[in-house]
Structure 1
């Protein structure tokens, strides 16, 4: 696991390949038109910061094991001082019981949670159309 005293570095914007990955995932949850619209909104969305623990809570997802190879890879990047890509999220709606969707970056969120659950993660958030 990462040392909580290690500073986590972030890229200013998500990697270009994060958007197609988000679209692929979102197409499992909605049709291609909805997925395309959401990704277009993610591309335009500003980067904001949210805590790792809050992103996981809002998504309703369980924390992946620290030994998961993708979580481990991101923990190693943190320790090595490599910048991580911001997370892509689709806003949920607590009024209707719809959780937020981590469209790309679930393993990064989990890695940050292990480093320190209160670390502010850069995230782009889009609403469903």
Structure 2
């Protein structure tokens, strides 16, 4: 039992150190401890520098605002990424399919899970850039995805917009993200 308590204490100290690092970088704020709270317990608002509230989305459901359609440059970027996974003609066909796809909405946490991708940290240069856009009230481009295959265990692919998904998740994991979704040729 004593070793278990030592392990828990060590984990609490590590967590407190991580919180302190996040506070120094401005991604959470210190709060006063309520009665019964331990030293390491603090309220965090990931992705929102202390003292700055996120801007509301067009729907009023979160801190991220979105363009109505992906930017034109996103489709060639998606094709370029997909060409690492499939021949150029297949990648181009998927990118063309994405252009004609309707906008759908999914939560940031579900997109990362379906793609089996890790959340990039707020100090990643591209994520930090998107977090700044969110704080400044600038609209982000919807993401482009290729559907996975559950039966075959193939994850979905974020063809364009991984950093935007991570920045949105850091603002609120339940952020409603507009996306275009295409099926890969089977």
Same fold (TM over 0.5): yes
The runs of at least 4 aligned residues of structure 1 exceeding 6 Å deviation read none
- Contact 2:54 2:134 (C-alpha < 8 Å) held by counterparts: no
Distance in 1, Cα, partners of 2:157 & 2:53: 26
Task: Identify the residue that residue 169 of structure 2 maps to in structure 1.
Answer: 113
Which residue among 17, 20, 45 is the counterpart of 2:73? Answer: 17
Greater strand percent: which structure?
1
Residue in structure 1 matched with residue 151 of structure 2 by the alignment: 95
Aligned to 2:106, the other structure's residue is in SS state strand
Report how far residue 76 of structure 1 moved: 0.4
Which residue number corresponds to residue 39 of structure 2?
Answer: none
1:33 paired with 2:89, answer yes
SS in 1 for 2:178: strand
Aligned residue pairs, count: 129
TM-superposed deviation, 1:33: 1.1
TM-score, normalization by structure 2: 0.68
| Alignment partner of 1:6 out of 48, 52, 55 | 55
Q: Is it true that 1:127 corresponds to 2:183 in the alignment?
A: yes
C-alpha distance in 2, partners of 1:40/1:67?
33
Q: Distance in 1 between matches of 2:53 and 2:132?
A: 13
Query: Which deviations, in whole Å up to 9, do the C-alpha atoms of 1:34-65 show, x marking residues without a partner?
Result: 10110011000000100000000000010111
Unaligned runs of 5+ in 1: none
Q: Secondary structure of 1:99's partner?
A: coil
TM-score normalised by structure 1 residue count: 0.97
Larger relative CO (CA 8 A, sep 6+): 1 or 2? 1
Question: What are the within-5 Å matches in structure 2 for residues 49-64 of structure 1?
Answer: 49-64=105-120
Unaligned runs of 5+ in 2: 1-46, 57-63
Task: Provide the C-alpha distance between the structure 2 equivalents of 1:29 and 1:16, rounded to a whole number of angstroms.
Answer: 22
Alpha-carbon deviations, 1:50-97, whole Å to 9, x = none? 000000000001011110010000000000000000000000011110
Computing the radius of gyration from Cα coordinates, the structure with the larger value is: 2
Question: Aligned-pair RMSD on alpha carbons?
Answer: 1.1
